[in-house]
Structure formats: structure tokens, C-alpha cells
């Protein structure tokens, strides 16, 4: 379940991975049971 510290850490990890791969997070939301993200990724990366 994505609550409290776990949700915060999830967000941190997602930002780190996206930054390392030149992915822009346009919007996102962490819910208790899933994550929604709208991203802009370079064309050489497979989503």
C-alpha cells in the first residue's frame, strides 16, 4: 500500500529514474494502490 513514507519514497525513486533517463514528468498522482503518470520520454526509450 502506498501510504506515508512509502508513498514519499516511491515518488523519490520515480523522480530519480526519470531524471537519469531524461524523462519529463508532466503530471502524476500516487494513490494508495496505484500510480498515474503522464510523461514525455525520448523516442529511443521503450515505455
| Sequence spans of domains, the chain | 4-40
What's residue 16's pLDDT? 97
* Grid cell listed for 43: 523516442
pLDDT in the model for residue 12: 95
Give percent above pLDDT 70 in the chain. Answer: 100
State the DSSP string of 1-47. Answer: ---HHHHHHHHHHHHHHHHHTT-EEEEEEE-SS-EEEEEE--TTS--
pTM exceeding 0.85: no
Amino acid at each position: 500500500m502506498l501510504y506515508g513514507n512509502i508513498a514519499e519514497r516511491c515518488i523519490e525513486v520515480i523522480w530519480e529514474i526519470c531524471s537519469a533517463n531524461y524523462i519529463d514528468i508532466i503530471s502524476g498522482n500516487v494513490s494508495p494502490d496505484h500510480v498515474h503518470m503522464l510523461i514525455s520520454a525520448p523516442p529511443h526509450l521503450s515505455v
